[in-house]
Structure 1
């Protein structure tokens, strides 16, 4: 299969592929998603095959408007409507209970709930409208690898496996959307993202659970990223927790006989002397730029070098830092550099 690359002006042609049951990757403000007609079971099953994704890992349904959600979900609560008004379009995914038989188990992982999102990307909203159907959209990468933040990342993983890619340049947020479960009595964040718990609580006026990011081996996850290995590059990532740990980490790197990757902010890179065998990747100036660049950095070392070990800077797990550290910890397999 030849994977075609479409520009935003070519949305109609990309939508025709979706209508024919084929797969088209699409841009969002977070990462690139792998799109298929959410009502076409055969197309949805192809998503799992193309990604090498476990079939009990549910998919997020991307919509162009709230009316589409209401076709599939049970009546939306007041809290849901407040959140939709505050954060859609945007990086907030919400899980709702479904009307009986509304979506195939291939989309839901066999659950009676589904996750919905209205992405903040004009090209993708136009794609959904032109296809005249909601589209499923897990990250457009090989399952378990760092999520794609450019069309080139998608091509690296899925070239020849999918029909097309809608290219709208690099994504802005860089980490996947916040996933909020609204199918339970108390809302719970199942995956942290740019929309924080405090921001959600300020809108709905009630507390949100924040410690439900993992499920057991025999449980079916309600959202992506809760069960399986995620975001891992070929190299081993070591998290450097504190600024004062960098001298020791770089001393260790200098003692290695192979190149070492270093992912850190400009301040860390400028304040420390990097050994000759280290290749740096800037995470910018703060947690916002670091979140936007994290996956690109991990993919940089996968695509362009032979580096087998990466030292990567940690941030405080507050606000957007919670999303950044969630992804970094999974990329590293919870492995931290110890002095």
Structure 2
């Protein structure tokens, strides 16, 4: 994939229209929020989400925060109990991310949630991100707009220094008012749990660093069956997930495209886990970038538990 020429446009109706056009075409766009700049893509499009990881060079597939326009939109994607709804009503729009159970019919790409049954949702307060949500009519996955492992971007020039040449467009909305990532609270039943401290102080029952929170990867989704890596053929009791020249029961990407493979990864792992075969095998996934991230996720899924 050729490196794009990265343009920077000041926040305006015309800039939002161009950002919405790119989002509809499946490309990520750097956008200001009140916390940090985010790299936004259509959360219902797995290949668009894979391009976020490709641009960031993210070393593994963490669950991503999904930005929505309002609580009603959030409730169409996640299941809100009384606790979650009270937190949302008190702090949205604003720098609070709520982790709630994912609705089965939400239409969110599995890559967004890293295969988990929960989803991280936020209603941003920044007018530029709200304008883009209105223009696209889509939930937007948007991790911080910086190369993985680098300092989060709070100005458009920070984004350009980190991601210039990797993305097509940066919307410059000025400096972020908060400057640190959102508070993350899990509201999945019982008392809320603080997963990441941030601008909003929440009285949570406990503070944990769990697998539900973006950026806190430990061992995310793993199938219930034994998983064998680098398989070129299937044993009689295995469900083989192919890649490139290795055909299988199904394939991450028959053409060997890592973007397609990343978009399909968690969905195919779930399919394999539900299949009658007692074991799963996965073909070799060679290459750098997204291919390396896929291998990292698979190695974690295959680790003894």
Pairwise TM-score range, normalised by the shorter structure: 0.5 to 0.7
Residue in structure 2 matched with residue 176 of structure 1 by the alignment: 181
Please state whether the residue corresponding to 2:75 is helix, strand or coil: helix
| Residue 7, structure 1, aligned to residue 16, structure 2 | no
Residue in structure 1 matched with residue 199 of structure 2 by the alignment: 194
The alignment's TM-score, normalised by the length of structure 2, stands at: 0.67
For residues 6 and 213 of structure 2, what CA distance do their matches in structure 1 show?
A: 28
Of stretches 121-130 and 76-85 in structure 1, the one that deviates more from structure 2 is 76-85
| Residue 225, structure 1, aligned to residue 229, structure 2 | no
Residue in structure 2 matched with residue 291 of structure 1 by the alignment: none
Measured after TM superposition, the shift of residue 82 of structure 1 is: 1.5
Query: Would you identify which runs of 4 or more consecutive aligned residues in structure 1 move more than 3 Å?
Result: none
The alignment's TM-score, normalised by the length of structure 1, stands at: 0.60
2:141 counterpart (136, 139, 143)? 136
For residues 188 and 161 of structure 1, what CA distance do their matches in structure 2 show?
A: 36
1:100-148 C-alpha deviation (Å, 9 max, x unpaired): 2532220001100010001110111001110110100100001111100
Residue in structure 1 matched with residue 90 of structure 2 by the alignment: 86
CA contact 2:83–2:192 (8 Å) conserved in 1: no
For residues 39 and 156 of structure 1, what CA distance do their matches in structure 2 show?
A: 28
Of stretches 182-191 and 25-34 in structure 1, the one that deviates more from structure 2 is 182-191
Residue in structure 2 matched with residue 161 of structure 1 by the alignment: 166
Q: Which has the larger radius of gyration?
A: 1
* Equivalent runs, 1:158-307 vs 2, <5 Å: 158-197=163-202, 201=203, 207-210=204-207, 212-213=208-209, 215=210, 221-227=211-217
| Residue 149, structure 1, aligned to residue 154, structure 2 | yes
Measured after TM superposition, the shift of residue 92 of structure 1 is: 0.2
CA contact 2:70–2:123 (8 Å) conserved in 1: yes
| Structure with more helix by fraction | 1
CA contact 2:63–2:215 (8 Å) conserved in 1: no
CA contact 2:81–2:189 (8 Å) conserved in 1: no
For residues 72 and 126 of structure 2, what CA distance do their matches in structure 1 show?
A: 18
Identify the structure with bigger relative contact order (alpha carbons < 8 Å, sequence gap 6+): 2
For residues 135 and 54 of structure 1, what CA distance do their matches in structure 2 show?
A: 21
Of stretches 96-105 and 134-143 in structure 1, the one that deviates more from structure 2 is 96-105
CA RMSD of aligned residues (A): 1.4
- Aligned pairs, how many? 212
CA contact 1:55–1:109 (8 Å) conserved in 2: no
* Equivalent runs, 1:315-326 vs 2, <5 Å: none
For residues 106 and 129 of structure 1, what CA distance do their matches in structure 2 show?
A: 23
Distance 1:226 1:150, change over 3 A: same
In structure 1, stretches of 5+ residues that fail to align are 202-206, 216-220, 229-339
